Structure 1
Amino acid sequence: MPHLPRLSPRYMLIPAAIAIAIAFAACGGSDDDTIQNNVPPIAQGRWIAGDLHTHTTQSADADVSQTLDKILGKAFTIYGLDWMAVTNHLRVSTRDDKGVLLAAPIPMATGVERYEMPRLAALQAGGSVGTYADKLIFSGFEWDMPTHDHIGIGIFEGSDKSAGAPLAVSTRGVREFEYLFTTRDAAMFDAADLTAWKAKYGDTRYNKTGDDALKAISWLKDNYPTTSYAVINHPSRNKGSYTVEDFRRFNDTAPDIMFAIEGMVGNQMEPDRGGYTAAYTAENAPLRAYGGTDYVVAKLGGVWDALLGEGRRVWNLTDSDTHFKIVGSNSSGYFPGEYAKNYVFNSATGTPTAKDLLQGLRSGKMFSVYGDLVNALDFNLASTSDRKEMGGELKVASGEKVVVTIRFKSPAKNNYEKPVDSGASASVKPVVDHVDLIVGDVGAKAAQGTAAYAVATNASTRVVKRFTSADWKTDADGYNTITYETTATRNQYFRLRGTNLGTDVAGLTQAGEPLADQRTSTADATQRFNDINDRNYRSLWFYSNPVFVTVR
């Protein structure tokens, strides 16, 4: 087997011909030249790590010490992210970016324009030590969706680099959204804006009902169809927030905007992992985190699999949801990049732009991880003439062979500290115990108004193969390689799940499935913080997005 090129953890650029030749060699294939000639080359680019859900002191429920400069320093200087969205609550702002109390509350959009964006621009201007000129940082927001829960939103305008001005945050869009879709006192907004909005909408605002929530998604589609996104945050944290019908309706309304669920949730330093505080009863099983992951994604054959089973391009991602880490006797979440990371493929060169990130997020070519269990993942499916990666669709003839290739790598150590928040590394190398290859059948998309629209399961979903270290080979660069051959007989999707846990670990896993995380309730605050941190680093997971197989 040929040696693969030496790559940094962020770069996994293997020519497709080499990758597929390796796969078929491992499976007993013999016509490597034909495979190399027929399979298209892999897209060139790099993996960029980031966080779509963060808060600073401009969110009232974040600690006053959670300044913008502090969070950026943690995210980029200490934890090495490439991009980050600052997503304060779409509520009134009472503090500036440094935590100074304002004379009177202002709309969140005003706070973004007056404090957040100017400071971001200064820090990204370059030319001096400590700036972030090579990072993508932008202002989004977290909206309290009527009758539901929180949605992370980004709104941009402009064009791409080749046409002149790159995409930039649409301050006018954020202002108009805040007016239309919150209960903010109209008197707080600029008089000229109010005149323009009333000319468009009259006195109507949309801030109370489920139909109003859908109106907001339609508004994004009408006004920013290719330059906005809306991610469903911590979907099961509060009872009754969403049904599978809601997910379908959102996605049907604007599939290029509502394309992701924050399945691997933030607030991991909470005593109730992820901040999922519903009573620990059997009927509340869907309101729990499982290995830190929301039930919607963690449940094999559950809501996410039901959506994928219709061929919906709905992706999973993770975030920090940082508000503060440890303050007094309370703990909440890790800093951006400390524990949770999204790796998104960026095909462009140079500093990523908002357009690059949007393209990467929409493509589904991304994976999410806790505790740096892996920092590199290549997952693709190939026929003798084509090859597709996460988010892609491989079209094959019935009965055609398909080879699954999985390559992953873990860092020499992660950010585990003992004691927690001490700066003292525990010097622990994360080790993957096993990787599950999960498959589910793909059928017709459910139609609104039918019984199928309310079905929240996919009975066909199963772990088709569980790989352990006995199944992979580790090369000189630390990449573990697995191949698996199957025969395409029907439309399906394949996805990955990996963990550092064994298949049957008391209180954590059973038959390979994650169990509901239990509350860490140590009375002494300092000991509790350390127990929570130990709990989190003991239970690490990563999830890939799927690759679809369509039989012609």
Structure 2
Amino acid sequence: MEPVDANVTNAANAERRRLAAAGGVVALLSLTVTLTACGGSGGSGGTEPEAGAWTTGDLHVHTVQSDDSRTTQTLDFVLGKAFTTHGLDWMAVTNHLRSSKYDNDAHLLPAPVAFAYGMASYEMPRVKALQAAGSYTGKLIFSGFEWDTPTHDHIGIGIFEGGSTLVSSASAMKEFQYVFTNGDESLFQADDLARWKAKYNQRANATAADALKGIAWLKDNYPDTSYAVINHPSRNPGKYTIADFRQMNDLAPKIVFAIEGMVGNQMEPNRGGYTSAYTDANKPNRTYGGTDYVVAQLGGVWDALLGEGRRIWNVADSDSHFEIDAAGNSSGYYPGEYAKNYVWQPKGSTGVAGLLDSLRAGRGFGVFGDLINALDFTATAGGGKATMGQELVTGAGQTVTVTIRFKSPAVNNYQRPVNSGNLGNMVPKVHHVDLIAGDVGPKAAPGTPAYDLATNPSTRVLKRFTSADWTLGADGYYSVTTTLPASRSQYFRLRGTNLAEDVPGLSAGGEPLADQPVNTADNATRHDQINDRNYGSLWFYSNPIFVSVK
């Protein structure tokens, strides 16, 4: 079986572009896509193709119910952009866990309420009603929130309840908001306040220890049906250390399993909204090709975590608040327009539970600007096979064969002018793909110097593949294979870009350089320059394959 081509037909794409130009919410475009793919075998044995499908989605999206969004960003508008215009398969609506001042349609409420109440009263019923009426059939839409984590930056959280069919838990989110945020008590209902005050001695919303208490609460109450994604981790200096990541993952590895490395807010003058002063001291607080330093730095924080065998994955999100407002401010692309998560879901994997299993298993890759829309990355040895997020166990001295197959769409969503609906007919083209390797050793122990170590010196670009190395098949997939001896336990991950190895201001020696701000005074000119900057530096990152030598 071939890897799935996640693009639909050219006609369907043309229709999506027409809808994008029209803007707003229109009738659902019905699309039927046959999804068959080779997703890996489960890691340790057998090379038979796995039945299943690639899906695309976004875990970080805001509507008007977030206080830093805009009134044009209604729930219906965002859903139309995500599913009708840009064809996502699933999406989490994740407004700030602060207060709701509006309903879904941007009508002011009589008085603000805690966001979890607004979510329960407006967001969740509207999604349910739309789908019951036949809109977004086959799409998975659920509610989460973005937590102002005490002493840290934001964490995206989902909490679910139910048996075989999981749904977002409004009651859990209300309780979490009371205990772990500093929202005024007037935002909460009196009967809830009375119950929670009897249950908790005090609220936990001020210290780093309180942040861990919040994660522990998820583990104690929703150990299998919650997640906590660390959003834009380096946006502000001093918010996280690698010890924080280790501690959170140690506390709840089934919940804290992902970092938003490929951040949203890409239409900001400072890419990703990373606005710290451009000084050498703040180099870790920049984006590099739109990607947070935690993931973008070769041999840095992510590699240090993977080098302990930690199952901590990278995700790509839009962080959509609005694209361009009436005052000429710009923020980010719409869901599915620029950033996509591709997540493999095995046959029989359905609903929130199936998606959560696949996210937790690291079965995916992230991409900007549709640089690629299909990726088959596998390692085989001795009859065993593994793909992204999996582990291949083999004996010392055996030959490991690594196969990379990828495909790009005919055109991406680049528009000129930006947000005009006029496609610039940009053909995304991969210049090179890096096969990155790092050694895997024991986990660092709390209280040891290794727990604070934020580098993995063994990490290196093992192979760099260009068009001179890969072949183009009749199916439109570029393929390259390499072999290496299994001499020690390692992980392998992929990074690809449309940039040449040395592009002034963008890359040096194949490594991404810090993104520079765009501060042109004229609004329209600045918007196009930002958009050109973003589409001129496209990247994809795969999750790793672990190869354990026994």
Short-chain TM bin: over 0.9
Letter in 2 for 1:137: I
Match of 1:256 in 2: 254
Alpha-carbon distance between aligned partners in 2 of 1:522 and 1:303, rounded to the nearest angstrom:
33
Match of 2:82 among 75, 79, 89: 75
Alpha-carbon distance between aligned partners in 2 of 1:377 and 1:140, rounded to the nearest angstrom:
28
Match of 1:345 in 2: 344
Residue by residue over 1:355-409, the C-alpha shift from the partner in whole angstroms, topping out at 9 and shown as x without a partner, is 0110110010110000000000011110121001111010010101100011100
Alpha-carbon distance between aligned partners in 2 of 1:7 and 1:330, rounded to the nearest angstrom:
38
Alpha-carbon distance between aligned partners in 1 of 2:5 and 2:235, rounded to the nearest angstrom:
37
The answer to whether the aligner puts 1:13 opposite 2:49 as a matched pair is: no
Alpha-carbon distance between aligned partners in 2 of 1:151 and 1:6, rounded to the nearest angstrom:
32
Alpha-carbon distance between aligned partners in 2 of 1:266 and 1:14, rounded to the nearest angstrom:
29
Match of 2:31 in 1: none
The answer (yes or no) to whether the contact 1:447–1:453 under 8 Å persists in 2 is yes
1:307-456 mapped onto 2 (5 Å cutoff):
307-327=305-325, 328-349=327-348, 352-456=350-454
Residue by residue over 1:422-465, the C-alpha shift from the partner in whole angstroms, topping out at 9 and shown as x without a partner, is 10111111000000000000011001000000000000000000
Match of 1:168 in 2: 167
Match of 1:508 in 2: 506
Query: Secondary structure of the equivalent of 2:424?
Result: coil
Match of 1:29 in 2: none
* Percent identity of paired positions between Structure 1 and Structure 2: 61
Alpha-carbon distance between aligned partners in 2 of 1:388 and 1:7, rounded to the nearest angstrom:
17
Match of 1:96 in 2: 103
TM-score calculated relative to the size of structure 1 = 0.92
Letter in 2 for 1:529: H
Alpha-carbon distance between aligned partners in 2 of 1:15 and 1:371, rounded to the nearest angstrom:
23
Match of 2:182 in 1: 183
The answer to whether the aligner puts 1:120 opposite 2:127 as a matched pair is: yes
Runs of 4+ aligned residues of structure 1 deviating over 3 Å after TM superposition are 4-8, 14-17
Alpha-carbon distance between aligned partners in 2 of 1:355 and 1:240, rounded to the nearest angstrom:
35
Alpha-carbon distance between aligned partners in 2 of 1:133 and 1:181, rounded to the nearest angstrom:
35
TM-score calculated relative to the size of structure 2 = 0.93
Letter in 2 for 1:152: G
Alpha-carbon distance between aligned partners in 2 of 1:349 and 1:225, rounded to the nearest angstrom:
22
Alpha-carbon distance between aligned partners in 1 of 2:322 and 2:6, rounded to the nearest angstrom:
28
The answer (yes or no) to whether the contact 2:57–2:90 under 8 Å persists in 1 is yes
Shift in Å, 1:346 = 1.1
Query: Secondary structure of the equivalent of 1:518?
Result: coil
The answer to whether the aligner puts 1:147 opposite 2:151 as a matched pair is: yes
Instruction: Provide structure 2 residue ranges, at least 5 long, that are not aligned to the other structure.
Output: 8-34
Match of 2:52 in 1: 45
Match of 1:266 in 2: 264
Q: Judging changes above 3 Å, is the alpha-carbon distance between structure 1 residues 494 and 5 closer, same or farther for their aligned structure 2 residues? A: closer
Letter in 1 for 2:516: Q
Match of 1:28 in 2: none
Query: Secondary structure of the equivalent of 1:470?
Result: coil
1:30-69 mapped onto 2 (5 Å cutoff):
39-69=46-76
Match of 1:219 in 2: 217
Alpha-carbon distance between aligned partners in 2 of 1:183 and 1:282, rounded to the nearest angstrom:
34
Query: Secondary structure of the equivalent of 1:70?
Result: helix
Query: Secondary structure of the equivalent of 2:218?
Result: helix
Match of 1:467 in 2: 465
Match of 2:286 in 1: 288
The answer (yes or no) to whether the contact 2:40–2:387 under 8 Å persists in 1 is no
Shift in Å, 1:133 = 2.1
The answer (yes or no) to whether the contact 1:57–1:64 under 8 Å persists in 2 is yes
Residue by residue over 1:245-298, the C-alpha shift from the partner in whole angstroms, topping out at 9 and shown as x without a partner, is 000000000000000000000000000000111111111110100000000000
Name which of structure 1's ranges 183-192 and 49-58 shifts more when overlaid on structure 2.
183-192
The answer (yes or no) to whether the contact 2:5–2:407 under 8 Å persists in 1 is no
Query: Secondary structure of the equivalent of 2:294?
Result: helix
Residue by residue over 1:116-165, the C-alpha shift from the partner in whole angstroms, topping out at 9 and shown as x without a partner, is 011000111144xxx112100011000000000000000001122xxxxx
Match of 2:140 among 136, 142, 149: 136
Letter in 1 for 2:195: A
Alpha-carbon distance between aligned partners in 1 of 2:360 and 2:332, rounded to the nearest angstrom:
27
The answer (yes or no) to whether the contact 1:15–1:41 under 8 Å persists in 2 is no
The answer (yes or no) to whether the contact 1:348–1:356 under 8 Å persists in 2 is no
Name which of structure 1's ranges 231-240 and 38-47 shifts more when overlaid on structure 2.
38-47
The answer (yes or no) to whether the contact 2:59–2:317 under 8 Å persists in 1 is yes
Q: Judging changes above 3 Å, is the alpha-carbon distance between structure 1 residues 6 and 229 closer, same or farther for their aligned structure 2 residues? A: closer
Match of 1:163 in 2: none
Match of 1:157 in 2: 161
RMSD of Structure 2 on Structure 1 (CA) = 1.6
Match of 1:297 in 2: 295
Letter in 2 for 1:51: D
Match of 2:13 in 1: none
Alpha-carbon distance between aligned partners in 2 of 1:239 and 1:9, rounded to the nearest angstrom:
37
Letter in 1 for 2:116: A
Aligned residues: 521
Letter in 1 for 2:254: D
Letter in 1 for 2:143: S
Q: Judging changes above 3 Å, is the alpha-carbon distance between structure 1 residues 169 and 435 closer, same or farther for their aligned structure 2 residues? A: same
Match of 1:192 in 2: 191
Match of 1:85 in 2: 92
Match of 1:33 in 2: none
Alpha-carbon distance between aligned partners in 1 of 2:380 and 2:36, rounded to the nearest angstrom:
17
Shift in Å, 1:102 = 1.3
1:528-539 mapped onto 2 (5 Å cutoff):
528-539=526-537
The answer (yes or no) to whether the contact 1:16–1:39 under 8 Å persists in 2 is no
